[in-house]
Amino acid sequence: MTLIPSVALRDGTTIPQLGFGTWRVGDDEAQAAVETALEVGYRHIDTAALYANEAGIGRALATAGIPREDLYLTTKVWNDRQLEARASLEESLTKLGTDHADLFLIHWPHPEADAYVQCWRDLIALREEGLTTSIGVCNFNAPHLQRLLIEVGEIPVVNQIELHPSFTQKDLEALDREHGIVTEAWAPIGRAADLDASGVRTVADRVDRTPAQVVLRWHLQQGRVVFPKSVHPERIRENFGVTDFELDEHDLALIDAVDAGNRLGPDPDLM
């Protein structure tokens, strides 16, 4: 089986650097997609209460019968339940068919509700109780992270942010690094929109790999955690084939140069 590298988190745990994304995988298609991913070798699954596919993922996990300690499961609390994180996590765990998450994340800061600081305190309590091993956030910008540090005194081990060749968020990634926060890149291939960029094509031609593979490799070599999503078995397999080649500095720079400030998702301050 392909060996997927792990990244160390500040809380003493490790996370597989390559996982399987499940946004827009319907509950009815989640079982087949996750079964395929597990067959291919993925062991890290990224979901969220919002995705409404945790039951389907749970069916795939039950069918596959892989020991729980060999899996890495991430789920998230949605904006309207920031003050009900415990109930949200318990419901997610029931659907997934497990007694704990490996990583539980605040999905968006949703500053309008002004509840993410309390939510973070509640996540700390859930971790203390063992309902989740690690805790983190998604889509947190500098001021959101700053509030957790000042008001709670603990910052996340993971910040899951939109990051792909045409939207690299270098300043936010640098801030994460400065605080010992691992950056997870969502939409790692820019939802396929970045695959036609000329820098990506040039590198793919040089190393004789697909555009998706070189973009995922570009992330891995820079220490990010990624979980590309696909419901197509051939792409699920393709996206896993990223650990047996290397990009050189020039390749990395060519993909870096694709950056165009091209945000695909919402601005976290407005979501």
Ligand X SMILES: NC(=O)c1ccc[n+]([C@@H]2O[C@H](COP(=O)([O-])OP(=O)(O)OC[C@H]3O[C@@H](n4cnc5c(N)ncnc54)[C@H](OP(=O)(O)O)[C@@H]3O)[C@@H](O)[C@H]2O)c1
With contact defined as beta carbons under 8 Å apart, do 183 and 161 qualify?
yes
- Of 28 and 249, nearer to ligand X (C-beta) is 28
* Smallest distance from ligand X to CB 201, Å: 13
Instruction: Consult the annotation and say whether 100 binds a ligand.
Output: no
| Residues contributing to the site for ligand X (CB under 6 A) | 21-23, 46, 107, 138-139, 160, 186-192, 195, 212, 227-232, 235, 238-239, 265
Closest C-alpha to 251, from 225, 220, 229? 220
- Of 124 and 231, nearer to ligand X (C-beta) is 231
**Run of H or E including 95:** helix 85-96
- Of 139 and 168, nearer to ligand X (C-beta) is 139
Three-state secondary structure call for residue 104: strand
* Smallest distance from ligand X to CB 187, Å: 4
* Smallest distance from ligand X to CB 47, Å: 7
With contact defined as beta carbons under 8 Å apart, do 162 and 139 qualify?
yes
Closest C-alpha to 78, from 102, 109, 103? 109
- Of 211 and 254, nearer to ligand X (C-beta) is 211
Q: How many CA atoms lie within 13 A of 53 on its CB side?
A: 24
**Active-site choice (42, 51, 72, 116):** 51
Q: Is 51 a catalytic residue?
A: yes
* Smallest distance from ligand X to CB 153, Å: 24
**Cβ-proximal residue to ligand X, closest one:** 21
CA–chain centroid gap for 121, Å, is 22
Beta-carbon contacts of residue 97 (< 8 Å; ≥ 6 apart): 58, 61, 62
Annotated binding site: 107
Annotated binding site for substrate: 107
Residues with active-site annotation: 51
